[in-house]
Amino acid sequence: MAKSNQLTKEEKKLLRQMYWRSFTLYAAVTPAKQGASGVSYSMQPFLNTFYDDKESKRQAMKRQMGYFNTNIAFLPFLLGVTASMEKENAQRENFNEESISAVKASLMGPLAGIGDSLFWGVLRVIAASIALTLANAGNILAPIVFLLFFNVPVQFIRWYGGKIGYTLGNQYVSDLYESGMINVLTRAASIVGLVMVGAMTSDMVEFTLDWNMVVDGETVLESQEMLDQIFVGLIPLAVTLFCFWLLKKKGVSVNWLIVGVIVASILCAAAGIA
C-alpha cells in the first residue's frame, strides 16, 4: 500500500478539504438521494483538479449524485477510494466509468453495517456507560468525557481513512486496470450493489394486504398469508419494480413517484385494502 508521505502537496490539500467537507454528508437529505449532495460537495475539489473540460466534469458530478448512504466514520475512506478512481478515469482514455459508481455502491452497504455496529452499537455504549458512572458521582466532566471518548476514535478513523482509501485506490485500481481485472471488479461490484438494493427493498418497502375473503362474517382466506406462501414480499417487490419502470422507461420524476406512492397509500388505507 502506498504511504501517506508519497502523496503530493496538492493531494494532501485535497484530502484535507474532503475531510472537512465530508461533515456535510447528511446536511441535505432527500428520500431519493440520501447523502448524495454531501458526497458531491466533498468530492468537488478532486473533480475540479482532475477534470479540465466541462463535459467530463459534468459527468463526474452526475456520478457523484447517485444514491448514497453509509456510516459517517467510514465515509472519508470510501470517498478516498472514489477520488482515486476519478483520478484514474481522468488520466486513462478507455477507463470504465461504470466501475466508479459500482465500487462505491458495493462498499457503502458493508461499511455502513460495520460502522453502525462498531461505533453506534459498541463505542457509544461504552462511552455512555463511563460518562454515566461519572455523572452518578456528580462529576461535571461526564458529558465532556462522553463526547471525547466517542468522537476522538471516530475522527481519527475519518482523518486517516481518507488517506488510506486514496493511496490504496491509487495503487490497486491502477494494477487492476493494467491486468484487465477492472471489468471483473465492476461486474462483481454491480452484483453486490444489486444485492444490497434487493435487501433494502425487502427491509424498507412495507405493504400488508388486509383485503381478505369473508363468508358469512367469517374470514376464510387471509390474502397476505396466501401471498407469503407464494413469495414473501411479493407486493413490495412489485411496487418497487413498477416505480423503477416508471422512473427509467417513462421518465417520471422522483418527486412525482413519491407523491404517487403517498396518495396510493392513503387511498389503500381508506379503502381497507392495506
The pLDDT confidence band at residue 83, using thresholds 50, 70 and 90, is: very high
Buried b (16+ CB within 10 A) or exposed e, 31-54: eebbbbbbbbbbbbbbbebbbeee
Average pLDDT over residues 40-69: 91
Cell of 127: 462511552
Average pLDDT over residues 175-198: 66
Q: In the predicted model, is pLDDT for residue 162 greater than 80?
A: yes
Question: CA 61, CA 189: separation in Å to the nearest integer?
Answer: 20
Contact status, residue 177 vs residue 95, Cβ threshold 8 Å: yes
pLDDT digits (tens, 9 = 90+) for 13-32: 999 999 999 999 988 888 77
The pLDDT confidence band at residue 240, using thresholds 50, 70 and 90, is: confident
The pLDDT confidence band at residue 239, using thresholds 50, 70 and 90, is: confident
pLDDT digits (tens, 9 = 90+) for 190-229: 676 667 667 767 677 777 777 776 666 666 677 777 777 7
In the numeric block, the cell 472514489 is attached to 82
Biggest CA pair distance of the chain: 80
The pLDDT confidence band at residue 58, using thresholds 50, 70 and 90, is: very high
The pLDDT confidence band at residue 40, using thresholds 50, 70 and 90, is: very high
* pLDDT confidence of residue 125: 86
* pLDDT confidence of residue 182: 61
Q: In the predicted model, is pLDDT for residue 59 greater than 60?
A: yes
* pLDDT confidence of residue 173: 64
Residues written for the chain: 274
Cell of 175: 494494477
Report the mean per-residue pLDDT for the chain. 83
